[in-house]
Amino acid sequence: MTDVEAPHRAKADRPAEAPASAAAQPLYAARQKVYPKRVFGKVRSVKWIILALCLALYYVVPWIRWDRGPGVPDQAVLVDIANARLFFFWIELWPQEIYFLAGALILGAFALFAVSSLFGRLWCGFTCPQTVWTDLFMFVERWIQGDRNARMKLDQGPHNANYWVRKSLTHAVWLLIAGATGGAWVMYFVDAPTVTMEILTGRASLEIYFFFALFAGFTYLLAGWAREQVCTYMCPWPRFQAAMLDENSLVVTYRDWRGEPRGKAKAEGVGDCVDCYACVHVCPTGIDIRDGQQLECIGCGLCVDACDSVMGKLGRPKGLVAFETLKNLAASEAATAGMAPGPERTRAGMAARQLPRFIRPRTMLYAGALTLVAAVMLGAFLMRSTLSVTVLRDRAPLFVRLSDGSVRNAYTIKLVNKTRDEAPLALTLQAPEGFRMTVQDVDNDAEGHPMLARRADGIAQYRVFITVPAGQRLAENTPLSFRLLDAQGRSVASQSSNFLGPKP
Amino acid sequence: MPTKIEKDAVTGRETTGHEWDGLKELNTPLPKWWLWTFYASIAFAVVWMVLYPSLPFWRGTTQWIAREAIVGEVAEANARNAPMMARLRAATPEQIVADPQMREFALAGGRVAFANNCAACHGAGGQGGNGFPALVDDDWLWGGSLAAIHQTIAHGIRTAEDDEARTSVMPRFGADGMLTNVQIGDVAEYVLSLSGRSTDADSVTRGQAIFAENCASCHGDQGQGNREFGAPRLNDQVWLYGGGKADIIAMVRNPRLGVMPAWHARLDPAVVNMLTVFVHSLGGGE
């Protein structure tokens, strides 16, 4: 296999070419450690803000309280698996409504597709938990061990006391953060103050310690050790983010029509790129954006800030590396073909750019799907009933003939009450004339309707008998329905069933 | 046999040594991680086979058998239910029905015990069948109160095992020659008239006299039945052995006498109490 010929083959931190020797080419690319350098700029500031917001959300939300009355968890966001309830502020979901969770995930997926097709890999570069925690761990590393050059010297130097102290301290802080992260995860499933005290005093159950250790361990491993390997090899998103990007999506690119040919700042007839490798040194995945679009680029935009600061120092216009659409890049290439390097070329190239086409079939499709799913979910949620009744007719026997010749059917009626209101409801029957209803162990109200008590946040079960007197003409199957009325006489729930009798 | 093993220039791996129409194949070794995981799984299997039952005729060093392991779990469940079962054992069915907690437990336990012990004869929902009384209706041979049901379940009907079993005998009017066929036909017609289904008025008149002489002593002068003898009501719409004329004639001629086992020796008294409460709640309890 010969060397791939590339005119501006850059020396990235991770070499992408094959070794010159043909004797033994390893098919396995050994990992090269990445030492991202600190960078200042607009993109970096935005990244810090988003990081702070995401972490604050993650750590603080389990502690938010929401009073729901006595005997009920008072945590605002709680997935109470033990009691089969999902609490989200004022919303309480029962297990049979788990499709709301599925809908929320589908919504999230479509939102991701929509954002990606418009603005590129914003998820990967700014909000993905892997990026956020790796960024945080890199910050800790930089704070304790120093910036890029200092860290490289530390790793390559002797493993003396200084080395061990710094490394141990870094890993200790990492483990602390990982512990807080694992703990916060558990807090979404168990009451936060309670489980915190339990974990700290050693009284938590085995399951809680297991999951705490699992998530803490994985945080430590993925953010402290695996880092960019997750994005490059493990995660499926990069692989099909490419399917969602097109020539009209904003991506991080190098404006090679402006930057080439590269040369020293003081040289004549060279492009704006001075081969300073600033963009390479700040990249958290260690790639060279000047090679073009690549899988490993998570679209974090730190190289934009790095190049901008260098361009600023050289007095050249910013934006050599920028968030740009590939369509504009091609347009600029065409407009500046054959031009000599210089300010006129830069002007011509930038003039050829157009506003990205945000409204196009792809984005409209994603937006449409997003709106549709959101509408369906909202509709389903608003129409959700907090009281429902199920009627199960006895099947053995289908009907009973009593001693006076009348025919009786028995039903098991279950009142599913998702509120904490325990007021009784009157049970009425919609059936032909002559059908009589009684409920076992239940008294009737003034109008002769059985008063069924509800169970707060539970299911109440009743046995109902419907009798048709002897001599009445009875079909083999008579449809009827039960209706529950509240104190004001309004129907709050109803269910239909049928009455079976002997063959006429 | 491999004919010519070569070393590939690009990857440094050996070929398999065979060539097919100029095509050669690299003999890439299995990945180390895969290989060692495989060895580990073999070692795990060996250790497992020593510890647990895997080979014939040997239970392994832990002597663990699933069938025996469950005994402990069942004992644990029984221990958890023990306090409530003790309460049910000590209480009367009336006391159980009055206490909501005991009643709920008794209904649930009664349903299970019914399915295990009673459903074979009385039907899955207590609907009975020909010769097996329906427990869901309001017609009772020996009484439908809690005490009566408890007595029936505990000591049975006409069962030889229990001294306290209730028993009664219907004479074999036909088989023993006590009544002629014509008389049996007439009295059957009269019995039909008691539930309003007779067709022959003369036969009914003749049958009424026969009934008053032979049947009223047990079945009552109106055919209202007698629970002391377990004599069924003849003037209602529920028929244990069939309500058609032929069925009635067959019963008068050669009566079938139902037998119910006594359960007090076979079941825990608490279970008998639970069954009583459950049967009483089926829809016909008095």
Per DSSP, the residues of B188-241 read: HHHHHHHTT----HHHHHHHHHHHHHHTHHHH-TTS--BTTTTBPPSSSS--SS
Structure tokens at A203: 């009284």
Name every residue whose Cβ is closer than 8 Å to that of residue A350 and which is 6 or more positions away in sequence.
A319, A332
Q: Rounded CA gap, B248 and A420, in Å?
A: 58
Best A3, A400, A401, A465 residue to mutate vs chain B (most B CBs within 10 Å): A400
- The answer to whether A401 faces chain B, any CB pair under 8 Å, is yes
Q: What are the chain A neighbours of B10 within 8 Å (beta carbons)? A: 1, 22, 25
Q: Rounded CA gap, A280 and A289, in Å?
A: 7
ipTM of the complex: 0.79
- Put simply, the answer to whether B127 touches A27 (Cβ < 8 Å) is no
Q: Rounded CA gap, B204 and B192, in Å?
A: 8
Spell out, as residue ranges, where chain B has pLDDT lower than 50.
none
- The answer to whether A410 faces chain B, any CB pair under 8 Å, is yes
Domain presence at residue B23: no
Query: Reduced to 3 states, what is the DSSP secondary structure of residue A416?
Result: strand
Best B96, B121, B127, B234 residue to mutate vs chain A (most A CBs within 10 Å): B127
Give me the total of CB pairs closer than 8 Å, taking one residue from chain A and one from chain B: 56
- Amino acid residing at A182: G
- For residue A29, the model assigns a pLDDT of 79
Query: Reduced to 3 states, what is the DSSP secondary structure of residue A433?
Result: coil
- For residue A9, the model assigns a pLDDT of 40
- For residue A17, the model assigns a pLDDT of 53
Which CATH number do you get for residue B74?
Answer: 1.10.760.10
**Shared domain check, B267 and B218:** no
Residues A38, A40, A43, A47: what is their CA dihedral angle, to the nearest 10 degrees?
60
The 8-class DSSP code of residue A287 comes to: -
Listed by number, the residues of chain B in 228-267 with a beta carbon closer than 8 Å to a beta carbon of chain A are: 233, 236-238
Structure tokens at B15: 């070929």
- The answer to whether A402 faces chain B, any CB pair under 8 Å, is yes
How far, in whole angstroms, is CA A52 from its chain's centroid? 17
Q: Rounded CA gap, B215 and B229, in Å?
A: 12
- The answer to whether A440 faces chain B, any CB pair under 8 Å, is yes
Name every residue whose Cβ is closer than 8 Å to that of residue A404 and which is 6 or more positions away in sequence.
A469, A470, B236, B237
* A33-67 per-position pLDDT tens digit: 999 999 999 999 999 999 999 999 999 999 999 99
- Put simply, the answer to whether B136 touches A27 (Cβ < 8 Å) is no
The 8-class DSSP code of residue A82 comes to: T
- Which residues partner with A401 through β-bridges? A407
Mean pLDDT, chain A cut into blocks of 10 residues (504 residues total):
40 50 67 93 96 96 91 92 91 90 92 90 93 96 95 94 95 97 95 92 92 96 93 88 86 92 86 93 94 90 95 93 94 91 90 91 93 94 90 92 93 91 92 93 87 91 94 92 92 94 90
Domain presence at residue B80: yes
Q: Rounded CA gap, A180 and B176, in Å?
A: 92
- For residue A11, the model assigns a pLDDT of 47
Length of chain A: 504
Q: Report the domain count for chain B.
A: 2
A146–chain B nearest CA distance, Å: 36
Q: For A387-500, give the CATH class.
A: mainly beta
Tell me the backbone φ, ψ of residue B227, rounded to 5 degrees: -75, -15
Tell me the backbone φ, ψ of residue B226, rounded to 5 degrees: -145, 115
- Closest in A23, A463, A470 to B237, CB measured: A470
- Which residues partner with B24 through β-bridges? B19
Query: Of A177, A51, A225, A185, whose CA–CA distance to A125 is shortest?
Result: A51
Query: Reduced to 3 states, what is the DSSP secondary structure of residue A459?
Result: strand
- Which residues partner with A393 through β-bridges? A411
* Domain, as residue range, for B214: 181-253
**Shared domain check, B92 and B220:** no
Handedness of CA A194, A199, A202, A207 (dihedral sign): positive
**What crossing angle do the helices spanning A129-145 and A161-187 adopt, rounded to 10°?**
150
CA angle B40, B41, B42 (to 5 degrees): 90
Query: Of A250, A267, A272, whose CA–CA distance to A345 is shortest?
Result: A272
Q: Rounded CA gap, A72 and A340, in Å?
A: 74
Minimum Cα–Cα distance from A408: chain B residue: B137
Q: Where are the domains positioned within chain A?
A: 42-100+107-241, 246-351, 387-500
CA angle A62, A66, A69 (to 5 degrees): 135
* A103-155 per-position pLDDT tens digit: 999 999 999 999 999 998 999 999 999 999 999 999 999 999 999 999 999 99
- Put simply, the answer to whether A404 touches B237 (Cβ < 8 Å) is yes
* A310-367 per-position pLDDT tens digit: 999 999 999 999 999 999 999 999 999 888 888 899 999 999 999 988 899 999 999 9
Tell me the backbone φ, ψ of residue B129, rounded to 5 degrees: 180, -165
Pairing of strands A407-417, A387-393: antiparallel
CA angle A427, A428, A432 (to 5 degrees): 150
A27–chain B nearest CA distance, Å: 7
**Shared domain check, B270 and B244:** no
- For the whole model, what pTM was predicted? 0.75
- Put simply, the answer to whether A397 touches B10 (Cβ < 8 Å) is no
Asked, as a colleague might, if the bond just before A504 is cis with ω within 30 of 0, I would say no
Query: Reduced to 3 states, what is the DSSP secondary structure of residue B255?
Result: coil
- Put simply, the answer to whether A404 touches B236 (Cβ < 8 Å) is yes
Query: Of A145, A27, A223, A52, whose CA–CA distance to B28 is shortest?
Result: A27
Query: Of B72, B231, B76, B210, whose CA–CA distance to B140 is shortest?
Result: B231
Domain presence at residue B11: no
Number of neighbouring beta carbons within 10 Å of residue A405:
14
Which H/E stretch holds residue A129? helix A129-145
Pairing of strands A458-468, A407-417: antiparallel
**Shared domain check, B243 and B115:** no
Q: Rounded CA gap, B278 and B272, in Å?
A: 10
- Put simply, the answer to whether A403 touches B137 (Cβ < 8 Å) is yes
Structure tokens at B285: 């309890």
**Shared domain check, B210 and B245:** yes
